[in-house]
Amino acid sequence: MAPLRPSSLMDGISEAASIKQNNLVYELQADGADIITLSLGEAFFDIPAPAFEELTPAVHHYSHTRGVPLLRQKLAKYHEMTAGTPADPDREIMVTAGSKSGTFMTLAAILEPGDEVIIPEPLWVSYPDQVRLCRGVPVTLPWHATVDDIAARITPRTRAIIVNNPHNPTGRRLSDGELRTLHALVDAHGLLLIADEVYSEFVPDDEPFRSAAALDPDKRHTVICNSMSKNFGISGWRVGYVIAHESLIRQLAKLQQHLVTCAPTILCQYLAEHFEDILARTRPQIREVVRRRNRVAEAFAARGVTSMPGDSTFYLFPSLGSSRLDSTEFAAELLRRYRVSTVAGVSYGASCDRFLRVSVGAEPEERILRGVTAICDLIDETGTGGHG
Ligand code: PMP
């Protein structure tokens, strides 16, 4: 058998830490283990299983590269209502196989080898490797940097800044001022602002979500990557979308044609026909999960464990305080000793090794609080003066 010789590019690529952790959980569960799963990057909702009988017959087949037209129309309307600025369903929207492929194709469409992309930490695990896969160079900023610090990292090779808003793993939302600063920077330096807004619905009651799209209505320098995975609670359907200037959408369409042809037609058609119903079902459940998130933050605080500031999404990023374990050791020990699965903070950037990512989307509150107790106990046991 000829030995597999991966390209040198693959040497620099790691597994996505959160997905790797969840694969481990699936395997442990298959062996009968009861794992409190605070590592899943999604919220589970009560939504009806899809029934495909009523869909028009052609749904077994490929669809338009840019997506089923009715879904693009629904997305355009949704975007206008939530972001406050229009998008042309025939020129400025492409439905993708999850938002992940949207960010990847955007990077692939703009980067020359050696081009730099600025990514503030905590960063979503796939951004740096997606940049590397496009032969670019991720330029990260430590978690305590502010948007004002980004300017100092811009070089002649910089092509884009990626932000995730609201933010996985902290739950933070960018303020209007921060969004204005980012737009001013990309405008002044001829860069692209890639705004990953997959958690756009996950904001607290009475807190409107501010899309980066609102400050660039002509889409001169902004790409919005969004998804049905989280907001509609259907991560396994693999349906996302990109909203951008038509000149970029044309490039992304070429990539999509060569990669996946189109997003899954039958699911997109179902989604288009049930768009408002699904949203009406998920929205109250989203409100509840955000409230739960903030109750869990209080439970950590009551034990003296502080989390990075944030009030949105279903994630928290608590500090490991005085534990002498690094985040990888801590997450492994937590799983081994307490059967609680989380993701090591270091997966979100080298500066984040004193944190742990906790997701509250997939377990009942009582089990989450047991997980919180286990985390706080392990911090105490492994802390200075601890006995673990
Ligand atoms: N962006 C962020 C910040 C995420 O957390 C995730 C999923 N965990 C994604 C993108 C990918 O989402 P999708 O299922 O739309 O590819």
Q: What is the pLDDT of residues 227-285, one digit of tens each?
A: 999 999 999 999 999 999 999 999 999 999 999 999 999 999 999 999 999 999 999 99
Q: Which atom of ligand 1 is nearest to the CA of 18?
A: 8
386 C-alpha to ligand 1 centroid (Å): 37
169 lines ligand 1 (CB under 6 A): no
Q: Which atom of ligand 1 is nearest to the CA of 228?
A: 15
98 lines ligand 1 (CB under 6 A): yes
Q: What is the dihedral of CA 254, 269, 75, 211, to 10 degrees?
A: -80
Closest C-alpha among 317, 357, 382 to residue 37: 357
198 C-alpha to ligand 1 centroid (Å): 6
- Out of 121, 228, 230, mutate this one to test ligand 1's pocket (max ligand atoms within 8 Å of CB): namely 230
Domain with CATH 3.40.640.10 in the chain: 56-278
pTM of this prediction exceeds 0.85:
yes
pLDDT single digits (tens) 302-357 = 999 999 999 999 999 999 999 999 999 999 999 999 999 999 999 999 999 999 99
* 287, amino acid identity: R
CA distance 183 to 51: 43
**CA–centroid distance for 49 within its chain:** 24
CA distance 198 to 240: 9
Tokens of 15: 């597994």
CA distance 136 to 116: 6
Q: At what angle do helices 99-110 and 126-133 cross, to 10 degrees?
A: 40
227 lines ligand 1 (CB under 6 A): yes
197 lines ligand 1 (CB under 6 A): no
Write out the DSSP string of 221-252: SEEEEEEHHHHSS-GGG--EEEE--HHHHHHH
Closest C-alpha among 203, 240, 204, 202 to residue 223: 240
Q: What CATH number does the domain located at 56-278 have?
A: 3.40.640.10
202 C-alpha to ligand 1 centroid (Å): 13
Report the 10 Å Cβ neighbour count for 351: 19
Q: What CATH number does the domain located at 8-46+283-381 have?
A: 3.90.1150.10
216 C-alpha to ligand 1 centroid (Å): 23
pLDDT at 386: 52
200 lines ligand 1 (CB under 6 A): no
pLDDT at 3: 73
126 C-alpha to ligand 1 centroid (Å): 9
Contact call for residues 225 and 98 (beta carbons, < 8 A) = no
**Paired residues of 196 in beta bridges:** 164, 225
Query: Helical H runs in the chain?
Result: 8-11, 17-30, 69-83, 99-110, 126-133, 147-150, 176-189, 228-231, 246-259, 265-273, 275-302, 327-338, 365-381
Closest C-alpha among 24, 5, 7 to residue 15: 24
167 C-alpha to ligand 1 centroid (Å): 11
CA distance 18 to 86: 34
pLDDT single digits (tens) 117-149 = 999 999 999 999 999 999 999 999 999 999 999
100 C-alpha to ligand 1 centroid (Å): 6
